[in-house]
Amino acid sequence: MEKKQRESWGSRLGFIMAAAGSAVGLGNIWRFPYMAGTNGGSAFIIIYLAFALIIGISVMIGEFAIGRRTQLAAVGAYKAINKNWTFAGVLGVISAFFIMGFYPVVGGWASAYILKSFTGLLSNPAAIGDAFGAFITSAVEPSIWLIIFLAANIIIVAKGVSGGIEKAGKILMPTLFGLLILIAIRSVTLEGAGGGLEFLFKPDFSEVTGQTLLAALGQAFFSLSLGMGCMMTYGSYLNKSENLPSNALIVTLLDTGVALLAGIAIFPALFAFGVEPAVGAGLVFVVVPQIFAQMGTLGIIFSALFFIALTVAALTSSVSLLEVVVAYLMDQRGWERKKSVYAAGGVMAILSVLSSLSMGVMSGFTVLGVGIFDFFDILTDKIFLAIGGMLLAIFIGWFVKREDLEDELTNGGTIKFGLFNAWYALMKYVIPLAVLVVAVMGILSIEQTGLMIFGLAVIAVLALFSKKL
- Contacts to ligand PHE by CB under 6 A: 22-23, 25-28, 99, 222-223, 225, 228, 230, 317, 320-321
Q: CB 321 → ligand PHE: shortest distance, Å?
A: 5
Return d(Cα 345, Cα 342) in angstroms, integer: 5
Return d(Cα 303, Cα 290) in angstroms, integer: 9
Return d(Cα 362, Cα 354) in angstroms, integer: 8
Of all helices (H) and strands (E), which one includes residue 430?
none
Q: Which is closer to ligand PHE, CB of 52 or CB of 287?
A: 52
DSSP 126-171: GGHHHHHHHHHHSSSHHHHHHHHHHHHHHHHHHT-IIIIIIHHHHH
What length does the chain have? 469
Residue 39 burial (10 A CB sphere; 0-12, 13-18, 19+)? buried
Q: CB 291 → ligand PHE: shortest distance, Å?
A: 22
Return d(Cα 130, Cα 143) in angstroms, integer: 19
Q: Which is closer to ligand PHE, CB of 27 or CB of 235?
A: 27
Q: CB 103 → ligand PHE: shortest distance, Å?
A: 7
Q: CB 229 → ligand PHE: shortest distance, Å?
A: 9
Q: CB 60 → ligand PHE: shortest distance, Å?
A: 11
Q: Which is closer to ligand PHE, CB of 252 or CB of 320?
A: 320
Q: CB 254 → ligand PHE: shortest distance, Å?
A: 12
Strand, helix or coil at 117? Answer: helix
Return d(Cα 350, Cα 102) in angstroms, integer: 11
Q: Which is closer to ligand PHE, CB of 93 or CB of 264?
A: 93
Return d(Cα 147, Cα 69) in angstroms, integer: 36
Strand, helix or coil at 208? Answer: coil
Q: Which is closer to ligand PHE, CB of 23 or CB of 61?
A: 23
Please report, for residues 34, 285, 293, 373, 461, the alpha-carbon distance to residue 122 in angstroms, rounded to integers and kept in the order given: 21, 12, 5, 27, 50
Q: CB 224 → ligand PHE: shortest distance, Å?
A: 6
Question: Radius of gyration over alpha carbons of the chain, in Å?
Answer: 21
Region of residue 225 (phi > 0: left; psi between -120 and 50: alpha; otherwise: beta): left
Q: Which is closer to ligand PHE, CB of 20 or CB of 396?
A: 20
Q: Which is closer to ligand PHE, CB of 275 or CB of 312?
A: 312
Q: CB 324 → ligand PHE: shortest distance, Å?
A: 7
Q: Which is closer to ligand PHE, CB of 27 or CB of 101?
A: 27
Return d(Cα 433, Cα 224) in angstroms, integer: 20
- The Cα angle at residue 393 between residues 402 and 234, in degrees rounded to 5: 90
Sign of the dihedral defined by the CA atoms of residues 156, 260, 183, 144, in that order:
positive
Q: Which is closer to ligand PHE, CB of 20 or CB of 293?
A: 20
Q: Which is closer to ligand PHE, CB of 221 or CB of 267?
A: 221
Q: CB 96 → ligand PHE: shortest distance, Å?
A: 7
Contact 33, 306 (CB under 8 A): no
Return d(Cα 216, Cα 43) in angstroms, integer: 10
Q: How far is Cα of residue 164 from the mean position of the Cα atoms in its chain?
A: 20
Q: CB 253 → ligand PHE: shortest distance, Å?
A: 15
Q: CB 32 → ligand PHE: shortest distance, Å?
A: 8
Q: Which is closer to ligand PHE, CB of 312 or CB of 438?
A: 312
Contact 68, 319 (CB under 8 A): no
